Structure 1
Amino acid sequence: MLSMSDTPVENFATIFAKLNTPVAFLVPTPTGYKKSIMDAVAPVRDLLSESKVHDFQTQSQGPENKHVVPAFFVHSDRVVETQASLYRPITKSGDPRIWFYDLKKYCQPCNLLALTVIDGAIYVFNLSDTFVADSLVKHDYAYNILSSGDNSSLIEQQLLELIRQINAAGPQRSITPGDPGVGDTLEHALGIQRNNSKNPDYMGIELKTTRLTRNGKLRTPTRSTLFSQVPDAGMPYREIVEKYGKMQVPRGSSDARLQLYETFRVSRPNAYGLVLEVNENDDRLDMKYQDGDKRSYVASWTMKLLKERLRTKHPETFWVGATSEMIDGVEYFRYVRVMHTKNPNASLLAPLIEADKVTLDLAAHFNVDGKWRDHGVLFKMNKNDFPLLFSEPEEFIF
């Protein structure tokens, strides 16, 4: 659906993320616009259900069961009152529908509409309207409708001060060899016991630690892992590698192994012929195999599960950067940078996946002796794009 939009959703994701405003997007198709019909896709259904405006799952089919709720069209200097009709037709399986009265006076086909709920009413922002867009970007009338305050965290200040003290104490000797050392050493210095829990690390704050340098040399910036989650339907993770993996010789080895180390995105298939699709009607993220012009289903994740993983993993996160140096053959770290994020706007996850701003890495192989090695199914994002998802990221450099 978003692929039909005449306006990129990522142009506005930063605003909704900053304000932590739950939002859903609609794009009227030319046919739907003409017939005054729009599908209430899964993100819209979720928005209305979670805000307790309407639950399509409990709604019976037929015009007599239509539900009408208050709505407003947002302009650059005013709002115009209207109504939203929410219903399930008798035809087919009663797929949920939504329509706003006088919508044709407010937008054109393929315009990008952002929906949010305030005090039980649906507010519609036509992001394809340059005046509305400017009003949001320049923090004028449309922006003020969405804006709200936020409270600073005492725990955040406490943790930041502890990392400052660790930095001031000088380089920290790694307590673990190899890649895990940078995170394990910081947690050890903070008095955190190592564990495999998916819960946040420090009094509700997640710690994600990376090397900024290795052996004194600046590292190429990499995407940061938001969370790890295997598909919850379709082909199991291990079978995906067995079927679609390739025999390859890893760097530093002379033996080929069956492996699948690759990035997945929506815009194009990867080297293994695998591609992602956002299925809005079924509220799913699908992995598919493309052979020529045909795509076949491989596996999928429910968006509800992915949103919950994001919320659970990153209600508040410190993304810590460390410099690395070798002293007498031992690695030492100095923690010099913190990016603080909080309040991920999970309603933006699907649009950002569709825009290739959030991608997926699958990393697994079978050793020559047949043993399985799994590094995870990792949903990743470039730190430069964090403002598209998180509310007001803040960076501290020591």
Structure 2
Amino acid sequence: MRVLTLAEQTKIKLLTKNQVSISLIEPTETGLKKSIMDATGSVRSFLKDNNIHDYDIQGQGPENKVQIDAIIYQDFQVIQSTASLYRPQTKKGDPRIWFSGLTKIANPNDLIALVFYSGSFHIFNLTQLNVEALLNSNLVNPLKELISEISGKANEIAFELLAMLRKVASSGPIPSMVAADTSVGRTLETALGIDINSSKQPDYKGIELKSFRSSRTNRKNLFAQVPEWSLSKFKSSAEILHAFGYHREEDFKLYCTVSAITRNSQGLALRLDSDIKQLVENSNNPEIGDFVVWTLNTLHNRLLEKHKETFWVEATSTYIDGLEHFQYSIVEHTKKPITSQFDILVDQGIITLDHLIKRNSTGKVVEKGPIFKIKPKGLDLLFPPSEKYNLI
């Protein structure tokens, strides 16, 4: 696909702001004449990730063609269309896609936006259509109605959770459930009636909930992710603990932060290797060297999975009769992290890694991480502009 113009980039940013997920396809002159387009890798991923269509399991030939309703958008009217997804008998059955009526709105090398909503494709010419003018228009138009419906549907759950948080906050300071750093989150989830578990999935109907004390400048948890053991010298957390752990009271543990900009007291540091798309943890012990690896693709996917949409809830901590209480006060609502920024922030030491490994008196090794954390100033760099809401 060709490089996007500044105008096309602006239109995509506007759609993203309205929580509209799109894929792009660029018809060629030959493709428009023959009514055929290659389903590129990005298009195939879009279809598969959104459970629309999977070319990998589609058979070749016209008998296996899949057709889906589609609507093509112009300024103030639409064209009813049909999407055809198929793999021809010829060659290797390279995936193909076509939308009937597309030649009415597309020139060669225009970029066509594909949206999927409510069981249908919604298609418009990103290059030619004045998206901003249509969305800001006082006149009713099909594109504005579509975007408003998608955006409103996406916001329903967020407003539902926001109302629940305001109800909790209105009851005043809530006594902490446990005496621990994690109590601010556990207390809130209990007050909301959310089950506390170790699932990697977001906490509430697709929204991740992260709480923190306002008086602290602590790093915020992004996600936990074990290394790719098959690519690593060490094959378990127990090996990491054995090499770098230390005794504390009854436990043998390794509780430490690892950064890409400095080595910690255990001699550990992170190194980003962009050429092979890996994050490597290294020891300054020459007999050990590089000992665990994460692929950047895995870390990006975990970030997107965990933080597609997140409520960062700030709480004021006070002590009443010797017991910590939390007054939840502010929510910062972030969406769709920029994965390329993740790599930069790791390299700059703004995103770091915490090991939380210990072997207790029974000999059992327990691993609560590794947890990737971000410094407070990094949120604005990792996520697009966010919304903030007062709870009280």
Instruction: Summarize deviations over 1:177-216 as a string: whole Å, max 9, x none.
Output: 563243245457x3979943437768998642112223xx
Matches within 5 A, 1:1-398: 4-6=3-5, 7-8=8-9, 11-17=13-19, 23-28=21-26, 36-39=37-40, 41-46=43-48, 49-50=51-52, 54-62=53-61, 65-90=64-89, 93-100=92-99, 102-103=102-103, 105-106=105-106, 109=109, 112-118=111-117, 120-129=119-128, 131-136=130-135, 141=141, 142-148=143-149, 157-167=163-173, 176=178, 179-186=181-188, 190=191, 195-198=196-199, 207-214=209-216, 219=217, 225=222, 227-230=223-226, 235=231, 261=258, 272-275=271-274, 287=278, 298=295, 300-301=297-298, 319-324=312-317, 333-339=326-332, 352-353=338-339, 362-364=353-355, 375-376=369-370, 378=372, 395-398=389-392
Larger of the two Rg values belongs to structure:
2
Read off the aligned partner of 1:131 and give its amino acid letter: N
**Distance in 1 of aligned mates of 2:66 and 2:211:** 49
Read off the aligned partner of 2:146 and give its amino acid letter: I
Q: For the Cα contact (< 8 Å) 1:260–1:365, is it kept in 2?
A: no
**Distance in 1 of aligned mates of 2:211 and 2:46:** 35
TM-score (norm. length: structure 1): 0.57
Read off the aligned partner of 1:336 and give its amino acid letter: S
**Distance in 2 of aligned mates of 1:37 and 1:104:** 19
Deviation at 1:336, TM superposition (A): 1.9
Measured at CA, do residues 322 and 42 of structure 1 come closer, stay the same or move farther in structure 2, by a change above 3 Å?
A: same
Moved more, 196-205 or 116-125: 196-205
Tell me the secondary structure at the aligned position of residue 161 of structure 1.
helix
Measured at CA, do residues 259 and 212 of structure 1 come closer, stay the same or move farther in structure 2, by a change above 3 Å?
A: closer
Instruction: Summarize deviations over 1:38-89 as a string: whole Å, max 9, x none.
Output: 4263333226744xxx553443224564445443332333334454332224
Measured at CA, do residues 193 and 356 of structure 1 come closer, stay the same or move farther in structure 2, by a change above 3 Å?
A: closer
Deviation at 1:165, TM superposition (A): 1.3
**Distance in 2 of aligned mates of 1:135 and 1:64:** 40
CA RMSD of aligned residues (A): 5.9
Question: What fraction of aligned residue pairs are identical, expressed as a percent?
Answer: 26
Q: For the Cα contact (< 8 Å) 1:88–1:94, is it kept in 2?
A: yes
**Distance in 1 of aligned mates of 2:314 and 2:59:** 53
Measured at CA, do residues 340 and 29 of structure 1 come closer, stay the same or move farther in structure 2, by a change above 3 Å?
A: same
Aligned to 1:281: none
Tell me the secondary structure at the aligned position of residue 330 of structure 2.
strand
Read off the aligned partner of 1:395 and give its amino acid letter: Y
**Distance in 2 of aligned mates of 1:237 and 1:156:** 45
**Distance in 1 of aligned mates of 2:138 and 2:225:** 36
**Distance in 2 of aligned mates of 1:88 and 1:302:** 33
Gaps of 5+ in 2: 245-253, 261-268, 281-292, 359-364
Read off the aligned partner of 1:37 and give its amino acid letter: D
Aligned residues: 340
Tell me the secondary structure at the aligned position of residue 163 of structure 1.
helix
Q: For the Cα contact (< 8 Å) 1:212–1:321, is it kept in 2?
A: yes
Higher relative contact order (CA 8 A, sep 6+): 1
Aligned to 1:254: none
Instruction: Summarize deviations over 1:303-324 as a string: whole Å, max 9, x none.
Output: 998876668xx6xx75320234
Instruction: Summarize deviations over 1:232-276 as a string: whole Å, max 9, x none.
Output: 896379659999xxx99xxxxxxxx9988358xxxxxx9612349
Instruction: Summarize deviations over 1:340-396 as a string: whole Å, max 9, x none.
Output: 68xx7xxx67xx4357699986443889xxx88653355989766999699xx6722
Measured at CA, do residues 56 and 162 of structure 1 come closer, stay the same or move farther in structure 2, by a change above 3 Å?
A: same
Moved more, 25-34 or 129-138: 25-34
Read off the aligned partner of 1:182 and give its amino acid letter: V
Tell me the secondary structure at the aligned position of residue 369 of structure 2.
strand
Gaps of 5+ in 1: 249-256, 264-269, 278-285, 290-295
Moved more, 91-100 or 26-35: 26-35
Deviation at 1:11, TM superposition (A): 0.7
Deviation at 1:113, TM superposition (A): 3.8
